[in-house]
Amino acid sequence: MTSPIVIGLEIHAQLKTRTKIFSPASALYCAEPNAQVREVDGGLPGALPSLNRAAVECAVQFGVAVGGRVNPRSEFARKNYFYPDLPKGYQISQYEYPVVSGGAIVVEDSKGGEKSVGLIRAHLEEDAGKLAHEGGASVADLNRAGVPLLEIVSEPHIFSAAEAAAYAKTVHALVRWLDICDGNMQEGSFRMDANISLRDKKGNPGVRCEIKNLNSFRFLEQALNYEAERQAEVLQSGGTVTQQTLLFDPARGETRPMRGKEDAEDYRYFPDPDLPPLLISEETIARIKESLPVLPRARRRMLAEKYGLNGYDAGLLCAARELADYFEKTLAELAPAKENLAAVAKTAANWILGDLASLMNRHSLSAKAAPVNAKALAGLLRAIGEGVISGKTAKAVLETMWKSGENAEAIIAREGLRQISDEGELQKLAEEIVRAHPAQAQEYRSGKEKLLAFFVGKIMSATKGKANPAQASAIIKKTLAD
Amino acid sequence: MNGEITTAGAAGLLQMLREGKTTPADARAVFAERARELSRLNALVCEINDADGCGAEDGALFGVPVVHKDIFCQRGQKTTCASKMLANFVSPYDSAVVEKCRAAGMHCIARANMDEFAMGSSGENSAFGACKNPWDEARVSGGSSSGSAAAVAARIAPLATGTDTGGSIRQPAAFCGVCGIKPTYGRVSRWGLVAFASGFDQAGVFAASAEDCALGLSAIAGFDERDSTSLDVPGEDFSAGLEMPLRGLRIGKPKEFFDGGLDDGVAALLEDAFSEMQKAGAKIVEVSLPSARYAVAAYYILTCAEASSNLARYDGVRYGLRAENAEDIAALYEQSRAEGFGAEVKRRILAGAFVLSYGYRDAYYRRAMRARKRIAEEFARAFRECDIIAGPTTPTTAFAIGEISDPVQMYLQDIYTVPVSLAGLPAMSVPCGFAKKMPAGMQFIAPALEEKKLLAAAHQYQKQTDWHTRVPPLTPPIKDGGGETNNKKNIPPPVKDGGGTVNNKKNTPPPSLMGGDGGGKQ
């Protein structure tokens, strides 16, 4: 059965280069308006673009990673239109000859199945500036003008809003994995345009609409669901869908026309005479292929095989390359014996995906930037493993480590958190407690075994929680039996 | 002494400076004075700058004044492109050409008038009014580098920069009786050169002699990573090859350039020039450029297409003219552009937008690209049979101001220059005599990067002729050696000989006595 919904996505990923694609101005995000504008970014008369090869390298990395064809010869073209955020009156993009053709993104659905979404192309282009409207006046900030973008165009092979979101998330993870895009959606580093149409009764795709400038996966999904429903209603009531460009209003949860077909633009593309054809040698492609990191799916398999992790944990660890790196570094620090490897790996994965991940989320920090590094986490895990502290204490220690940057050992020592594991000391304490509560001891001995917890609790409170609970329980049991 | 300074040319002036006969400051003052006296020619568009400074003292051309076409961005200076659109635009940065001239020690005394955004073949399309031809002030100077050519002809400066997209250096050089060289596309950086048609625009120089052109070109040529179309070839001393003799040189004569269309007077002058070169041992070979007849059409399609995009930045938003009281952004664009651009610029933007529009691109733009390729191939084929090509620069000599109003008629002025531009080749116009009292130019064309061949051929030709030493009969005329004013009107000042002294011995007939029959050879 063919899906009634047909979706294709165009994703704009801002490339992580130091300078802009055609000028020496900084490409980093900058809050002060127009602080990063050189002659060509401001569209000054006589200013000329010169290509930043770092942006090309990013595009080649992407092309190789998605199994696309990196074209040895591609071409920059001008897309001509007037807009106040477009200083030259044209955008330098690629049209007939993109840098990457083909390739595919393998997307996992919620049921764990896999689907390959084909790519038409990926091409390099420059970003436009930003407009703001202040008290009746409009102002332009050209800091972003000329920042390199990779436009990734999928085949219309996506058949639901959920699949579109899954695809976009996979692309997002991939460009971050490759470290060619910071993926910061608030700052506009990763933006999506979605084309959607419904098939007619014969199965042919109908008239499509384009929803522009979506900057969250949730909005993407909402917008597509809304639009699919809207188009279905139009068709059911005997109407026809008009081709148009839409914007999604997240506040109202609906799409709205941005401009109608009547002023559909003719961009008058032609090869940019200021830039020679973009040539990429076999050697460059081979070099980049060589230096490409192991890609997420392969890494996942690797983690599962090497450490005996389940597919789910391995998948979560491979959501970001630095997370997977963090995990492996932690394991390398712990260097467990072969027979303990799987158990230690599982514990490490649990801590990384659990407590550490929640700290990272809370502070919006990546694994790389986390104040607790792999070595420090390994120290904490070692303390747990050796019975120095309980898992419960460890959670608090991790919080302190995060805040103060100290290692686990220092915190445990300073705060006196070391567990009381001295058999003799606990034995003495157990005997005192049993003696102090003869009635309860009597009840226990006559079969009310639930009272064991009462005695363990007494030991824990007497030691202010520093007793090893398992050990305390065993000792109490033995004492009561005597 | 003043006369000597103004007519010495760049090489001659450098010699005088070396010999202590003048100083950079004095030379500057003399040229500045002449510029002020001849302001009626309308060759210059800004205040004359005879203040001290500017040029680097260790530069090879230290002390040589230069005039920059008003299309080269110069920091702190108005860079208007002779357009109302940029009438108040002060450039915040220097073009590569301005930087290089300064580094070579040249002092920019003023900026030259031009056709608006370098679009025109007469110098009439200027927001500041037409530039007049120093040989006959009722006639045009040619264009688009009108002021540069006129300034050199009137000896307001020994060197001037210009740009040539389809003939904008060569044609005004021919009309004004001076030398003008357009180097190979990519030879001189376009950084800071306000674009008309990026794939064609090329900076070059004007001077009275080929020798001076070589000096000027050596100063401005060279690779620049800021211009991606700049050719990564080592810098050259273009003066080094000037003594390459004409003997044995195979000069191609494209038969299509002599079919009809060419004025009889100009044709006769060219015949004389060819026999002059033949006498010096050059071999004349007939060559053919059968597709040259498509050149004007292809050229205008391609350059208008590029211009329509290059000039989109003049939208009234960031700099330049902004229409007042525009209701919305669309009105701001429309009104600013309607007010800011002249008729010819608008015509080309419209034509360019049309040929690029959906459904027409294949019929126009792509076909023109094919024609361009074919013309380049035909040049390459012709250069298998000859070392250099020679022919007319223009079909006629300078026409009267206001004489040509039909745009297509005007475009046909470029019939001999645009084929070269389509092929990106170096070419040069050299004065070759007078037809009905007006100077005519001979165009030399060389294979890519062979500017030295052009300059050598021109220099050798100029060693046998003296057309390039003729000075227009202007009022006031150039002052003589004693600093007294020569009051005899309309008599050209004496011609300088090799020794740099005033010399009337040869009793050279003034141009005004020459007919269009190409007479007056030395």
Note whether A45 contacts B: Cβ–Cβ < 8 A. yes
Instruction: Please compute the mean of the pLDDT values over residues B436-458 and round it to a whole number.
Output: 98
Inter-residue contact B475 to B489 (CB < 8 Å): yes
* Chain A interface includes B228 (CB < 8 A): yes
Whether residues B92 and A49 touch (CB distance < 8 A) is answered with no
Q: Percent of chain B, pLDDT > 70?
A: 91
Specify whether A193 is located in the same domain as A225.
Answer: yes
For range A347-362, the mean pLDDT: 95
pLDDT tens per residue, range A118-176: 999 999 999 999 999 888 888 999 999 999 999 999 999 999 999 999 999 999 999 99
Domain boundary, last residue among A415, A437, A465: A415
Residue in B229, B315, B357 closest to A274 by CB:
B229
Judged by CB atoms closer than 8 Å, whether chains meet at B365 and A270 is answered as yes
Mutation to test the A interface, candidates B356, B361, B362, most A Cβ within 10 Å: B356
Overall average pLDDT of the B214-224 stretch: 97
How confident is the model over A229-246, as a mean pLDDT? 91
Task: Name residue A160's amino acid.
Answer: S
Q: A52 and A198 in one domain?
A: yes
The CA distance from B339 to the nearest CA of chain A, in Å, is 17
- Does the pLDDT at position A105 exceed 50? yes
Q: Are residues A247 and A347 in the same domain?
A: no
Distance from CA of A198 to the nearest CA of B (A): 27
Nearest to A266 among B89, B91, B358 (CB): B358
A88 touches chain B (CB under 8 A): yes
Query: Is the same domain home to A336 and A264?
Result: no
Q: How confident is the model at residue A391 (pLDDT cuts 50, 70, 90)?
A: confident
Q: Are A22 and A92 in contact (CB under 8 A)?
A: yes
Cβ contact, residue pair B356, A140, below 8 Å: no
Of A48, A84, A270, the CB nearest to B317: A84
Identity of the amino acid at A276: P
Query: Does residue B306 sit at the A interface (CB-CB below 8 Å)?
Result: yes
Average pLDDT over residues B477-482: 60
Q: What is the pLDDT of residues A241-290, one digit of tens each?
A: 998 899 999 999 999 998 644 456 799 999 999 999 999 999 999 999 99
The answer to whether residue A85 neighbours chain B at the CB level (below 8 Å) is no
Q: Which of B451, B462, B459 is nearest to B388 (CA)?
A: B451
Cβ pair A87:B318 closer than 8 A: yes
Does residue A43 sit at the B interface (CB-CB below 8 Å)? Answer: yes
CB contact under 8 A, A46 and B357: no
Question: Mutating which of A270, A272, A275 best tests the B interface, going by the most B Cβ atoms within 10 A?
Answer: A270
Whether residue B91 and residue A140 make contact (CB cut-off 8 A), yes or no, is no
**What local confidence, expressed as pLDDT, does residue B225 receive?**
96
Residue B467 C-alpha from the chain's centroid: 17
Q: Do B309 and A270 touch (CB under 8 A)?
A: yes
Distance linking the first and last C-alpha atoms of chain A: 74
- Higher pLDDT, residue A459 or B490: A459
- Domains of chain B, each with CATH number or no CATH: 2-293+388-501 (3.90.1300.10)
* pLDDT per residue as tens digits for the range B275-329: 999 999 999 999 999 999 999 999 999 999 999 999 999 999 999 999 999 999 9
What pLDDT score does B507 carry?
Answer: 40
A209-214 vs A245-249, strand pairing mode: parallel
Residue A152 to residue A150: CA distance in whole angstroms? 6
pLDDT score of A109: 76
- Is A263 in the B-facing interface, judged by CB distances under 8 Å? no
Q: What is the pLDDT of residues B157-205, one digit of tens each?
A: 999 999 999 999 999 999 999 999 999 999 999 999 999 999 999 999 9
Given an 8 Å threshold on Cβ–Cβ distance, is A44 in contact with B197? no
Which residues from A are below 8 Å from B308, CB to CB? 80, 268
The Cα A146–Cα B253 span in angstroms is 48
What is the Cα–Cα distance from A157 to A159, expressed in whole angstroms? Answer: 6
A 327-386 residues with CB < 8 A to B:
none
Tokens 């050990």 locate to A471
Instruction: State how far the Cα of B159 lies from the Cα of B105, in Å rounded to an integer.
Output: 13
> What is residue B500's predicted lDDT score, i.e. its pLDDT?
36
Same domain? A103 vs A143: yes
Q: Do B190 and A46 touch (CB under 8 A)?
A: yes
| Confidence category of residue A90, pLDDT binned at 50, 70, 90 | very high
B231: nearest CA partner in chain A:
A276
A270 Cβ under 8 Å from any chain B Cβ: yes
Q: Which residues contact A447 (CB under 8 A, 6 or more apart)?
A: none
Q: What are phi and psi of B263, to 5 degrees?
A: -60, 135
Poorest-confidence range of A125-134, B212-221, B436-445?
A125-134
Q: What are phi and psi of B249, to 5 degrees?
A: -70, 130
Partner-chain residue, chosen from B89, B228, B318, that has the shortest CB–CB distance to A48: B228
Q: Are residues A261 and A170 in the same domain?
A: yes
Q: Which of B72, B198, B313 to mutate to test the interface with A (most CBs of A within 10 A)?
A: B313
| Residues of chain A with C-beta less than 8 angstroms from the C-beta of B116 | none
Query: Are residues A283 and A353 located together in one domain of the fold?
Result: no
- pLDDT the model gives residue B303: 98
Alpha carbons within 13 angstroms on the beta-carbon side of residue B398 total 34
Point out the domain boundary residue: A398, A415, A432.
A415
pLDDT band at residue B110 using 50, 70 and 90 as cut-offs: very high
- Chain A contact for B422, CB < 8 A? no
Report d(CA B261, CA B271) in Å as an integer: 16
- Residue A270 structural domain: 5-287
pLDDT tens string B332-378 = 999 999 999 999 999 999 999 999 998 899 899 999 999 999 999 99
Q: Are residues A69 and A143 in the same domain?
A: yes
Q: Sign of the CA dihedral B233, B235, B239, B241?
A: negative
- Helix pair angle (A296-307, A321-334), 10° resolution: 20
Predicted confidence band of residue B54 (pLDDT cuts 50, 70, 90): low
Note whether B381 contacts A: Cβ–Cβ < 8 A: no
Q: Does the CB of A416 have a partner CB in chain B at under 8 Å?
A: no
* Interface contact A95, partner B, CB < 8 A: no
- A276 part of contact set with chain B, CB < 8 Å: yes
Q: Does the pLDDT of residue B509 top 60, yes or no? A: no
Active-site residue list of B: 69, 144, 168
Instruction: Provide, as residue numbers in chain B, all residues whose Cβ is less than 8 Å from the Cβ of A78.
Output: 309
- The residue out of A374, A398, A415 marking a domain boundary is A415
Q: Average pLDDT over chain B, rounded to whole?
A: 91
List chain B residues with CB under 8 Å of A270: 305-306, 309, 356, 361, 365
pLDDT of residue A469: 79
- Chain B positions touching A34 (Cβ under 8 A) are none
In the predicted structure, residue B489 carries a pLDDT above the cut 60: no
* Distance of residue A44 Cα from the nearest chain B Cα, in angstroms: 8
Q: Which amino acid is present at A192? A: M
My answer on whether A356 and A225 are in the same domain is no
Q: Which of A395-399, A464-468, B216-220 has the lowest mean pLDDT?
A: A464-468
Q: Which amino acid is at A177?
A: W
Helix ranges restricted to H, B60-117: 96-103
Question: In chain B, what residues touch A276 (CB-CB under 8 Å)?
Answer: 228-229
Under the banding of pLDDT at 50, 70 and 90, the label for residue B501 is very low
Say whether both A256 and A298 belong to one domain. no
Whole-number Å distance between alpha carbons of A465 and B111: 88
The CATH number linked to A465 is 1.10.10.410
pLDDT greater than 90 at residue A464: no
Tell me the mean pLDDT in the region A69-88. 97
**Do the Cβ atoms of B299 and B418 come closer than 8 Å?**
yes
Same domain, A209 and A87: yes
Q: Judge contact between B413 and B263, C-beta under 8 A.
A: no
Judging contacts by C-beta atoms under 8 Å, the chain B residues touching residue A44 are 73, 91-93, 319
- The amino acid present at B496, given as its one-letter code, is K
pLDDT at A471: 81
On whether any CB of chain B is under 8 Å from the CB of A146, the answer is no
Whether residues A215 and A77 fall in one domain: yes
Q: In this structure, which long-range contacts are made by residues A338-347, counting pairs with CB atoms below 8 Å and at least 24 apart in sequence? A: A341/A307, A341/A308, A342/A307, A342/A308, A342/A309, A344/A381, A344/A385, A345/A307, A345/A308, A345/A309, A346/A308, A346/A309, A346/A313, A347/A381, A347/A384, A347/A385
Residues ≥6 apart with Cβ < 8 Å to A346: A308, A309, A313
Q: Name the DSSP class of B246.
A: S
CB A122 within 8 A of CB A153: yes
Tokens 């004496």 locate to B494
Residues of B in Cβ contact (< 8 Å) with A49 = 228
Q: In one letter, which amino acid is A42? A: G
> Which helix (DSSP H) or strand (DSSP E) does residue A93 occupy?
strand A90-93
**Mean of the pLDDT values across residues A39-62?**
98
Domain count, chain A: 3
pLDDT at A201: 80
Our CA-based measurement puts residue A85 at a distance from the nearest CA of chain B, in whole angstroms, of 9
* Tokens of residue A98, six digits: 């993109």
Q: What is the mean pLDDT of residues A222-245?
A: 92
pLDDT band at residue B53 using 50, 70 and 90 as cut-offs: low
Contact B521, B461 (CB under 8 A): no
Query: Is B196's Cβ below 8 Å from some Cβ in A?
Result: no
| Cβ atoms of A43 and B315 closer than 8 Å | no
Confidence (pLDDT) at A259? 63
Q: What is the pLDDT of residue B487?
A: 42
In chain B, what residues touch A265 (CB-CB under 8 Å)?
Answer: none
